[in-house]
Structures are given as C-alpha cells and as structure tokens.
A and B are shown apart, each in its own frame.
Chain A
Amino acid sequence: MKVKVISRSTDEFTRERSNDLQRVFRNFDPSLRPQDKAVEYVRALNSAKLDKIFARPFVGAMDGHIDAVSCMAKNPNYLKGIFSGSMDGGMLLMLRRRTVCRFRGHDGAVKGLTVSTDGRILVSCGVDKTVRLWDVPVATLTDSSDSSDKTPEVLLINLAVDYQWDGDLFATSGARVDIWNRNRSQPVNSFEWGTDTVISVRFNPGDPNVLATSASDRSIAIYDLRMSSPARKLIMQTKTNSVSWNPMEPMNFTAANEDCNCYSYDARKLDEAKCVHKDHVSAVMDIDYSPTGREFVTGSYDRTIRIFQYNGGHSREIYHTKRMQRVFSVKFSCDGSYIISGSDDTNLRLWKAKASEQLGVLHPREKRKHEYHAAVKNRYKHLPEVNRIVRHRHLPKPIYKAAALRRTMTEADRRKEQRRKAHSAPGSIVTEPMRKRRIIKEVE
C-alpha cells in the first residue's frame, strides 16, 4: 500500500518574523473561481462608477488679467511655464499656478504669443502694430524682471504668431503672412493670397518649412517657405478659427471651424476631410493637440472645453464650470496630462486631461489595479449598464438644449433629403458625405 495525504505545516505557509511580508500562494485553476465572468462584469461596473466618483478634472483657476484672455503659449523647454496675453495688453508668466511676473505687453490687445523651441524667446504681437521679442526669465525666478529688447516695427496689425519648430524663424499673420528671423528687424519673406485677414498660423512640427494658416475669407492655406508663393488653399463654407498639426502624424492637421465642428485633414489630400469631429454647439475658437497625437482639446464659444480622439467623431470628455465664460484659447500641457484654458472671464483654468486620473506618484500595485480596471471596463463596455455610466455627462442646461435642438435639426435635414431622394429620379440626387459637404473648393 502506498499512501500520501496533504499535510501542511504552519511554518511553511506563514511568515517567519512579523517584519516579513505575508506569503502568497497562487493557483490559477479556473474551477476555484466559479462565475468569473459575472465577477468581472461586476468589477467593470464598479470601476465605471468609481471613475465617475473620482472625476474631478478642475485643478484650479489662475487670475491676474484684467480683461479676457486672448492667447496663450506654453514653454516647450519648461513644463510648468505658461504665458498668457490679454485683451487689455497685459501679459502674465505663470509658474505652478502662480503668477510670476506681470507686465504691460502691448498697447491694446495682445493677439498672439509663441515661444521658441529652446524656450529662450517669447514673441508677442498685438493690435498696436508691433511684434515684440522678450527674453524669457530662467526658471530660478531670481531675475524675473525681463525687458523687451527688440521691437520690430510693423505697419500692420498682426493677429497671430507662431515660432518655427527648431529654427530661428517665426511667422506673423494679419493682412499678410510675414516670416521673420529673430535677429533682424525686417521680415525675411512675406506671402499674400487674397485680401482678407489671416487669423491663425501654425508651423508644421515635422517639416519646419511648412506652415498652415486660416483666414477670414473661410480659407485654410498651406505655405512652403522654400517656395516664393503659397502652395495650396482650401475654401470651406465657414471660417476656420484655428488650426493645429498632429505632432505624431505631421501630415495631418485639424481645423477648428466656426460651424461648431472640427475637421481633420490630410495636408496632401485636401478635397476630403479625414474625420469630422462634432459635439460643440457654438463656434470652436481654439484647438491644440496632445503631444501624444492621440487626442486634442478644443475650446468653444459655448463656454465648454471638449477633448476628442484624433479619429473620433464625438468627444470623449466635456469640461465646464459655472464661472467659465467663452473660451478663447486652450493648450495641452507638454506632458499631455493637463489642459489649460483661457476664457472671457479673465481667468486661466487648469484641468486634468483624464478626469478621474489619480495624481502623484503611484505605487506599482496601484498602477496595476488601475490597468486592470481599465481592461475590464474595456471588455464589458458594450453592456448597456456599463455603457450608460461611462457615457453619462452632466451638461449645463443651455448646452443640453442646444445640442438637442441641433440633433433635431440634423435629423430633420436627413429625413428631408431622404424623402427628396426617394421621390426623384434615381441617381439625380447624390448625398455628399459630411466629410465633403462643407468644402467649397480647393485651389492650387
């Protein structure tokens, strides 16, 4: 007879000293865990609820301006530094949610701000027909009193400015697009296409010689500095307020349009948008991509900020507060974890990019737990209860009503079109996809 029975001595299965960690034994046999799918579903539901409980995206408001915030710039060389300009001509340098220095930038509104890639020079332009270059104070905060040194005089009002990625050039735009070298007081190059004002300009992060502009003649134009004339132009039905290039796919850019939508384009193929991002209920004023290139933030005239996936038709998040007025500028922080918004109510606001993210240093175990929760939530996101909780957002009443109205209107349009199509000769009415519908023409 051969016999063996399970025999466990307590010493082998418990810790030796009270300072030791408790010993853990694993057995992955599925029969020890009955109803594992139900348990996972309950966990997905709980994590969706926890996400809602911990969704506290608003970090803080930063005041200091005495008029609406018109523009902002982030220091690419220093994570915590933000520059902002206001409608009264004041400019602020913020560090860690505190105003470090405040100075008179321009007579009249500051319209554009940008920082060079090395973080040394701040360029501002305003309605006083000057472009000013500022030395950015070093992060030690000791010599915070900086002086405006060079002031290239221009005779035109400039509305936007952007610095070349890793270069010496910057572009200003107004009645025409001027390219400046920071060491000279005259523009290196200037472009003109049509008579209307150019309201925004953005350099391509991939190819430093390419820039995109939008103008009040409803056009988006792409310029190449190596050529003497502008390259391509796209005219839409409504004005584009701002453009932003995707930093990870630098051939793509997204345009914030007056018709409440954002349009993602491939710069090589302007006859059709790659994606239409709908959700705002009023004009989109500003747009900025996350450094990861997977999502972007928009600020709108409807007093909300929304975050979109780069390929998502609807926003994944909406931020609003009672006191935030019309948003004129938004920026993603350089680490992609915060959003800064500047609005009509003279405040800058700091938001978390992921509303329920836990801040601070995470224990590896905490990190794993968060990952597990995200995974089960993703797995059961199609189930109605989980989906409902994940999708639910509280909206201010005017926005909720406006969104409902817009939905009704688009639905009515669609129905009308459908009926018209049904009652016409087949093929005589062609429905254009939304990606093409708002484009008037492309000019080479």
Chain B
Amino acid sequence: MEISEELDAPEVKKFLRGKAPNLEVLQDKKLKGQLSVREEFYGISAKAAAKAAKWLMPSEGGFLEAEGLEKTWRIKQEAIAKEVDVLSSRNQYDIVLPDLGPYTVDFTSSGRYMAVAGRKGHLAIVDMQNMNLIREMQVRETVRDAVFLHNELFFAAAQKKYTYIYNRDGTELHCLREHGAVLKLQFLKNHFLLASINKFGQLHYQDVTTGEMIGNFRTGLGRTNVMEVNPFNGVVALGHSGGTVTMWKPSAVNPLVKMLCHHGAVSAMAFHPNGHLMATSGKERKIKLWDLRKFEVLQTLPGHAKTLDFSQKGLLAAGTGSYVQIFRETESQNYSRYMGHSMAKGYQIGKVSFRPYEDVLGIGHSMGWSSILIPGSGEPNFDSWVANPFETPKQRREKEVHSLLDKLPPETIMLDPSKIGTVRPSKKKEKPTKQEREANKEAAVEAAKGITMKKKTKGRSKPSKISKKKQDNILRAKRPFLEQQTHEEMSKKQKLISENKEELPVSLQRFASKKPKS
C-alpha cells in the first residue's frame, strides 16, 4: 500500500512539525515565492520520511493483549517470562544486595549502560547488553544520586558533602564543591549542563565542558529532592513540600512557572517525552496528569507514588511501597491501569526508570535493584545518529565530537523551543469596552460603600465624620476611572491635532489647528 499523497495523513503530519503559514497575506511577491518553494520542500521531506518510516523501520513495538476474561494487570511477570524468548526473559531479575541499599538507577540515553548507586556508598556501572559489571566501587560515604553525563564514560555522584564526577574506571575526575550537599542530580544532554538541587533548596547549573557555573538560584521553597528535566525543552522542574511545582531555566532568577499542583507535598514528578504532559504525585494520595500547554489537570488518578517515570512510548510507571503500577493511555486519551508488579518480600521501591529502546523497567529498591518486562514501553527503532545501543568506541568518539559542536547555549532553554528563529508577534493591549468600564466603576463604588468603619473613640465616630469618610472612599474608588477617562480624551485630542498636521506640508505643521474640523 502506498502512503497517501495528502499531507493531512497522520503518518505524514507527524514529520511536518507544525502547520504551514498563510502565504496569501504576504505583499512581497519575491518572499512569497521563496517561502512557497520552501514549504514545498517541507512537504516532500515529510513524505519521504513517512515512506522511510513505513518501509525501512526493521522492528515493530512490543505489546501485551489479554484474551477472554483475562485482564492485563493480572498478568504476572512469571507468565510473561514463559511466553517470550530467552534473550528477553534474561531481562527479568532481582539483584539482592542487602547491606548497601536503597539503590537508585540511571540509564544512558541509548539504554545500554546502567549506573546504580547504593545509599551506603556503592557505585556500579553495568553493561545491560551482556550483563557485564564494568566497574564497581565503594566510596565509603552516603551517595544520594548518580547520573550519567553525555555518554557512559563519565558519571556524577551526589555524595555526603560534595558532588563528584568519576570516569568509567572509577577514577575521581572532579569534585564539585560549589553545589553543596546535593540531593538530586540531572544532566541536560543537549546543553551539557549538570543541574543539582541541594539541601538548602539551591538550584545549580554547571557547564560540564568548561566547568563554568551557569546559574545558582535560591528557590526559597525549602528542601526537596524532586527534580526532573523536561526532555522536550530542557526546563528543570522542582516539586516542593508546599505542593507547588516550579520550572526553571538557567538564564532567569525567577521561575518560569510556579503552579500549585497538590495540597500535600509533591513526592514525585515525570515528563512525557513529547513534553506536553507532566505527571505529579502528592502526599495527599493523588497522582495528577497535567497538560503543559494549558497548565491544566487532565486527569487525577488515585494513589500515591514515591517515584514516577514515563517511557518513550508514553507508559507511566508509579512506584509506591513495594508495588509498581503501570498506566497506559487508552483510546479515550485517559490513563488507566495496564500492568502491576509486587516486589518480593516487600522490598521498598526508591526509584523506577524505563530503559530506553527496550521493554524493560529498572527498579531501584531497598535491597538492590530489579528489572521487569513491560511490553510496549520502549521505542522499537533506534536511530544510529541519535542513540545507538550497539555503538562502537569509534562511533562513540565521533558522536562526542559532533554533540560538542552542536552544544546548545543555555539561553536556548525556554518553555516553547519552537520559538527560536521566529518573529515575536506584537502585543496589542485589549481595551475594555465602555460598558465594561462603567460596570467596573460601579463595582468599585459599591465596594467602597460597603466598607464598614471601625468604632473609634473621642468623637471621631460622629455621624458627620463617618459620612464624610464614606464619601472620600467613594471618590478614591472613582478616581482611577476618571483619570483614565481624561487621559483618553487628551490622547484623542492629540490624535486630532496630528491628523490636522498631516494635511499640511512639514514646514507649516507647527501652525496646525487644534480644533476639530467642522
């Protein structure tokens, strides 16, 4: 079957990156011609991409379908293990390390390597393809978090006092003292920025290529360890104990967005890879899904989550206690339960993280780490130039050079990254109509009349004084409206004069009449 020729077909539309502008309004013929040629090229390339996606993608995604009376959320991992091939069933395991937990996990962007950090100082890097332990070490102090930097050669660990950067061999490369006692780390891959939040609620951004401290902001909202990066635009979001979520960029002192999400403290947060959906969970036992274009709640799910994560295909994992629940988007755009998994022996889950490009969920818990199969969670087709799980050292070196050349400046972090290179539309203030202005004035006067006077002593509450004060209040309420009215009249007059001026030659304009023409 051929791809339909229309650009409106959903498989083509995905590659178009937005609608075409309306060229009919343009006056400039040359520009119009150039732009229409460019639009044509966009269409051709979108169609070519759709065709390539249709025919050249080697693998199809995973799935789990219930038959008859079965329910997908009742299917156990043991049952799945029996059905899948040996290679995949190897991805179900529990590593039990009772002494050094609880553990957190982090994957590289290609999903090949995993860094695990035990609270009591255990750091390890594992090659997930052949389950090779690449390096393991004991730093002998508290480790709160560990993240990979741009590739598997470097990782940062938030330790008791400072944050350290290690290479793959476990050699300490840098000690980042300025960050303080960090609770949570995040790495912005395109910008080469390491973001951290410390015990005092200070957010730091450090450029790992130059070592320069890009930003250092006091959130002023207390201690938190809930921090996530929106992969769509690089904005860092923090969840606070007061139930607010703030979003930050390194070039502004104040948060871009401050939203009250929960009545209890925010306990976990996750971003959908397309950047339009955020999941938060609060201590008042609610999980909320937010539309980040309108900043509105889309859905409220019952339950509590200590940790949340979105997969590449948009599955949502929520871990609480010893139970992981997976939600999936249904046809009606709502998230509903898809799968669940109980940890053995009540191990307490600290962190869930989907492995990119695989149908695997990594779980860090109090007694080690585990991995379970979640069919349909990962992107089945990787792009060798974006993230390659089968990368050779030579390819990795080349990619490192290219990604450094394409390193984005910190100013490119903004809520809507498609704004770059576009013209800012001029803002026009909407004027209130006359009726609205009158109504506002009436309301203000009514409010002024309604003010009750305090009872005061020594003749200051005489009826005459009270009535005078009331009159004053009313006048004060009216004043801004009257001022605005006079101002408008003045500007109308000015406009009239300038109109009269325009008809005269420049040299005579200063003699223009200030009266309206009859």
Interface residues of A (CB under 8 A from B): 1-10, 12-14, 22-43, 46, 379-380, 382-383, 422-423, 426
Complex interface bits, B448-478 against A, C-beta within 8 A gives 1, otherwise 0: 0000000000000000000000000000000
User: Known: A7-B88, A39-B406. Contact between A32 and B383, CB under 8 A?
Assistant: yes
Whether the pair A422, B507 counts as a contact (CB closer than 8 A) is yes
* 5 A-B pairs with C-beta separation under 8 A: A3-B84, A5-B359, A25-B388, A41-B420, A42-B407
Whether the pair B87, A7 counts as a contact (CB closer than 8 A) is yes
Q: Which residues of A contact B62 (CB under 8 A)?
A: 3-6
CB distance from A48 to the nearest CB of B (A): 13
Q: Which residues of B contact A43 (CB under 8 A)?
A: 405-406
CB distance from A366 to the nearest CB of B (A): 15
Query: Which B residues from 2 to 38 make CB contacts under 8 A with A?
Result: 14-15, 17
In whole angstroms, what is the CA distance A24 to B391 when docked? 10
Which of A5, A25, A36, A37 sits near B58, CB closer than 8 Å? A25
Whether the pair B84, A41 counts as a contact (CB closer than 8 A) is no
CB distance from A303 to the nearest CB of B (A): 35
B382 within 8 A of A: yes
Q: Which residues of A contact B380 (CB under 8 A)?
A: 6
Whether the pair B63, A4 counts as a contact (CB closer than 8 A) is yes
In whole angstroms, what is the CA distance A7 to B65 when docked? 18
In whole angstroms, what is the CA distance A38 to B413 when docked? 9
Nearest neighbor of B46 in chain A, beta-carbon distance: A28
Which of B70, B387, B408 sits near A38, CB closer than 8 Å? B408
Whether the pair A37, B378 counts as a contact (CB closer than 8 A) is no
B80 within 8 A of A: yes
Whether the pair A35, B233 counts as a contact (CB closer than 8 A) is yes
Whether the pair B421, A41 counts as a contact (CB closer than 8 A) is yes
Whether the pair A8, B389 counts as a contact (CB closer than 8 A) is yes
B48-56, B162-170, B210-218: which lies at the interface: B48-56
B209 within 8 A of A: no
Q: Which residues of A contact B417 (CB under 8 A)?
A: 34-35, 37-38
- Shortest beta-carbon contacts, A-B, top 7: A422-B506, A38-B412, A28-B49, A5-B359, A5-B62, A27-B383, A27-B381
Whether the pair B408, A32 counts as a contact (CB closer than 8 A) is no
B148 within 8 A of A: no
Whether the pair A1, B66 counts as a contact (CB closer than 8 A) is yes
Whether the pair B379, A32 counts as a contact (CB closer than 8 A) is yes
Q: Which residues of A contact B407 (CB under 8 A)?
A: 42
Query: Which B residues from 474 to 508 make CB contacts under 8 A with A?
Result: 505-507
Whether the pair A46, B405 counts as a contact (CB closer than 8 A) is yes
B346 within 8 A of A: no
Whether the pair B375, A4 counts as a contact (CB closer than 8 A) is yes
Which of B84, B190, B275, B409 sits near A5, CB closer than 8 Å? B84
Whether the pair B52, A2 counts as a contact (CB closer than 8 A) is no
CB distance from B57 to the nearest CB of A (A): 7
Q: Which residues of A contact B57 (CB under 8 A)?
A: 27
CB distance from B404 to the nearest CB of A (A): 11
Which of A26, A31, A35, A41 sits near B52, CB closer than 8 Å? A26
Whether the pair B421, A33 counts as a contact (CB closer than 8 A) is no
CB distance from A109 to the nearest CB of B (A): 46
Nearest neighbor of B58 in chain A, beta-carbon distance: A25
In whole angstroms, what is the CA distance A291 to B369 when docked? 70
In whole angstroms, what is the CA distance A324 to B199 when docked? 67
In whole angstroms, what is the CA distance A31 to B65 when docked? 26
In whole angstroms, what is the CA distance A37 to B359 when docked? 30
Q: Which residues of B contact A7 (CB under 8 A)?
A: 84-85, 87-88
Whether the pair B379, A26 counts as a contact (CB closer than 8 A) is no
Query: Which B residues from 39 to 81 make CB contacts under 8 A with A?
Result: 49, 52-53, 56-67, 70, 75, 79-80
Known: A3-B375, A26-B384. 8 other contacts (CB 8 A): A1-B66, A4-B63, A5-B84, A7-B87, A14-B390, A26-B383, A28-B49, A34-B273
B358 within 8 A of A: yes
CB distance from B82 to the nearest CB of A (A): 9
Q: Which residues of B contact A12 (CB under 8 A)?
A: 58
B373 within 8 A of A: yes
In whole angstroms, what is the CA distance A23 to B389 when docked? 12
Q: Which residues of B contact A39 (CB under 8 A)?
A: 190, 406, 408
In whole angstroms, what is the CA distance A212 to B385 when docked? 57
Whether the pair A31, B406 counts as a contact (CB closer than 8 A) is no
Nearest neighbor of A380 in chain B, beta-carbon distance: B421
Whether the pair A3, B390 counts as a contact (CB closer than 8 A) is no
B513 within 8 A of A: no
Complex interface bits, B237-276 against A, C-beta within 8 A gives 1, otherwise 0: 0000000000000000000000000000000000001110
Which of B15, B273, B275, B373 sits near A28, CB closer than 8 Å? B15
Whether the pair B190, A34 counts as a contact (CB closer than 8 A) is yes
CB distance from A25 to the nearest CB of B (A): 5
Q: Which of A24, A383, A426 has the most CB of B within 10 A?
A: A24
Nearest neighbor of A38 in chain B, beta-carbon distance: B412
Whether the pair A31, B58 counts as a contact (CB closer than 8 A) is no
Whether the pair B420, A38 counts as a contact (CB closer than 8 A) is yes
Whether the pair A423, B506 counts as a contact (CB closer than 8 A) is yes
Whether the pair A6, B505 counts as a contact (CB closer than 8 A) is no
In whole angstroms, what is the CA distance A12 to B359 when docked? 18
B83 within 8 A of A: yes
In whole angstroms, what is the CA distance A383 to B409 when docked? 15
Q: Which residues of A contact B85 (CB under 8 A)?
A: 7
In whole angstroms, what is the CA distance A38 to B416 when docked? 11
B433 within 8 A of A: no
Q: Which residues of B contact A26 (CB under 8 A)?
A: 52, 56, 383-385
Q: Which residues of B contact A25 (CB under 8 A)?
A: 58, 381-384, 388
CB distance from A47 to the nearest CB of B (A): 10
Q: Which residues of A contact B17 (CB under 8 A)?
A: 30, 36
In whole angstroms, what is the CA distance A38 to B408 when docked? 7
In whole angstroms, what is the CA distance A22 to B409 when docked? 32
CB distance from B313 to the nearest CB of A (A): 10
In whole angstroms, what is the CA distance A42 to B407 when docked? 7
Q: Which of A3, A22, A23, A28 has the most CB of B within 10 A?
A: A3
CB distance from A239 to the nearest CB of B (A): 34
Nearest neighbor of B129 in chain A, beta-carbon distance: A10
In whole angstroms, what is the CA distance A1 to B58 when docked? 25
Q: Which of A33, A34, A382, A383 has the most CB of B within 10 A?
A: A34
Which of A32, A38, A383, A422 sits near B190, CB closer than 8 Å? A38
Whether the pair A34, B232 counts as a contact (CB closer than 8 A) is yes
Whether the pair A1, B67 counts as a contact (CB closer than 8 A) is yes
CB distance from A320 to the nearest CB of B (A): 31
Whether the pair B392, A22 counts as a contact (CB closer than 8 A) is yes
In whole angstroms, what is the CA distance A14 to B448 when docked? 79
Q: Which residues of A contact B53 (CB under 8 A)?
A: 27-29
Q: Which residues of B contact A41 (CB under 8 A)?
A: 412, 420-421
User: Known: A1-B65, A423-B507. Contact between A6 and B378, CB under 8 A?
Assistant: yes
Whether the pair B79, A35 counts as a contact (CB closer than 8 A) is no
CB distance from A168 to the nearest CB of B (A): 43
B418 within 8 A of A: yes
Which of B65, B84, B373, B386 sits near A33, CB closer than 8 Å? B386
Which of B83, B379, B386 sits near A3, CB closer than 8 Å? B83
CB distance from A50 to the nearest CB of B (A): 10
B395 within 8 A of A: yes
B321 within 8 A of A: no
In whole angstroms, what is the CA distance A35 to B412 when docked? 9
In whole angstroms, what is the CA distance A161 to B14 when docked? 63
In whole angstroms, what is the CA distance A382 to B85 when docked? 55
Q: Which residues of A contact B373 (CB under 8 A)?
A: 5
Q: Which residues of A contact B390 (CB under 8 A)?
A: 10, 13-14
Whether the pair B274, A31 counts as a contact (CB closer than 8 A) is yes
In whole angstroms, what is the CA distance A423 to B88 when docked? 88
Nearest neighbor of A386 in chain B, beta-carbon distance: B421
Q: Which residues of B contact A32 (CB under 8 A)?
A: 379, 383, 386-387
In whole angstroms, what is the CA distance A232 to B56 when docked? 65
Whether the pair A2, B506 counts as a contact (CB closer than 8 A) is no
B357 within 8 A of A: yes
Whether the pair A5, B375 counts as a contact (CB closer than 8 A) is yes
Nearest neighbor of A423 in chain B, beta-carbon distance: B507
Q: Which residues of B contact A10 (CB under 8 A)?
A: 129, 390
B231 within 8 A of A: yes
